[in-house]
């Protein structure tokens, strides 16, 4: 089963229960710590927030199945089963967003609403998929993720963070170098195989929040607009939020702004 951190069911005498649990899925190649600030802040306000480590990352075992984000979505659904949660609000940042869209494809009845942060619905180009396979082969051969961190950091974080938040750069470097090479390789091969998800978004019909760092060079505000448009075409109530001064890892680059966007959207849903 996936390792996870749970802000916990609402305590008797604590703040009033604030609606369905929120499951937040992390980016590649890191773990559930990406969402720690949001889990703590919203948890204190009475929202149950669960942050799993996806297969192979953090404290979760790597799947023995061939690489596929469908496998990851099934593991998230199995975690919901284990926690006896029938329906949750499911959100993810980048790779976590790809998994959220795989949840819509495979477990739509378990999903009450979705958050798509710094992610995109399009499949990889042939070239992008080939790059992922090269990185997977290289990281397995190297037996370390140190080079992955150095290769990815320039694009993962926005210009504002690179210029003025050295502790965020150091934290993300530490997170990436702590991950297992086998998990990085498996996830890259899984992402290379993912299908386009615009039709899954159009078929959803539930509320959708698309959130993106204004300086995100990997999943751009235009990608967020395309997802929002697809969801809206299927009748979803759709909200788009751009976080100024943040890049691809908006949840850690400006945690308060992302928490605030989630809080505002969740409050309007309840
Ligand atoms: C991520 O942040 O999860 C990755 O940048 C996703 C990707 O490689 O497409």
Average pLDDT across the chain, whole number? 96
- 241-264 pLDDT per residue, tens: 999 999 999 999 999 999 999 999
153 lines ligand 1 (CB under 6 A): no
Atom of ligand 1 nearest to the CA of 249: 2
Rounded mean pLDDT, 89-115? 98
Atom of ligand 1 nearest to the CA of 132: 8
Atom of ligand 1 nearest to the CA of 120: 9
pLDDT band at 270 (very low <50, low <70, confident <90, very high): confident
pTM of the model: 0.97
- 33-57 pLDDT per residue, tens: 999 999 999 999 989 999 999 999 9
- Ligand 1 centroid to Cα of residue 265, in Å, is 24
95 lines ligand 1 (CB under 6 A): yes
- Ligand 1 centroid to Cα of residue 269, in Å, is 28
Confidence check: pLDDT of 14 > 70: no
- Determine the length of the chain: 270
28 lines ligand 1 (CB under 6 A): yes
Confidence check: pLDDT of 10 > 70: no
Whole-number Å distance between alpha carbons of 100 and 89: 10
Percent of the chain with pLDDT over 90: 95
Q: Is the separation of the CB atoms in 62 and 1 below 8 Å? A: no
């Amino acid at each position: 089963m996936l390792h996870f951190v749970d802000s916990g069911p609402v305590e008797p005498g604590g703040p009033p229960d604030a609606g369905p649990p929120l499951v937040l899925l992390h980016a590649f190649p890191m773990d559930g710590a990406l969402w720690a600030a949001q889990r703590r802040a919203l948890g204190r306000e009475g929202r149950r927030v669960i942050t799993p480590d996806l297969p192979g990352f953090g404290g979760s075992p790597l799947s023995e199945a061939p690489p596929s984000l469908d496998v990851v979505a099934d593991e998230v659904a199995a975690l919901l089963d284990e926690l006896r949660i029938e329906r949750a609000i499911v959100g993810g940042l980048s790779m976590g967003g790809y998994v959220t869209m795989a949840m819509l494809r495979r477990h739509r009845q378990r999903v009450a609403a979705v958050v798509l942060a710094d992610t995109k619905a399009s499949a990889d180009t042939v070239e992008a998929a080939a790059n992922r396979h090269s990185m997977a082969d290289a990281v397995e051969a190297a037996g370390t993720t140190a080079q992955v961190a150095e290769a990815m950091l320039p694009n993962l974080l926005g210009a504002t963070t690179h210029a003025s938040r050295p502790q965020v750069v150091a934290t993300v470097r530490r997170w990436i170098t702590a991950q297992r090479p086998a998990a990085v390789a498996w996830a890259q091969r899984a992402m290379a195989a993912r299908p386009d998800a615009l039709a899954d978004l159009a078929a959803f019909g539930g509320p959708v929040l698309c959130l993106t760092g204004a300086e995100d060079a990997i999943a751009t505000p235009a990608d967020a607009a395309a997802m929002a448009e697809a969801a809206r075409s299927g009748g979803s109530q759709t909200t788009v939020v751009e976080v100024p001064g943040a890049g691809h890892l908006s949840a850690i680059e400006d945690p308060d702004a992302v928490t605030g966007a989630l809080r505002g959207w969740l409050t309007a849903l309840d």
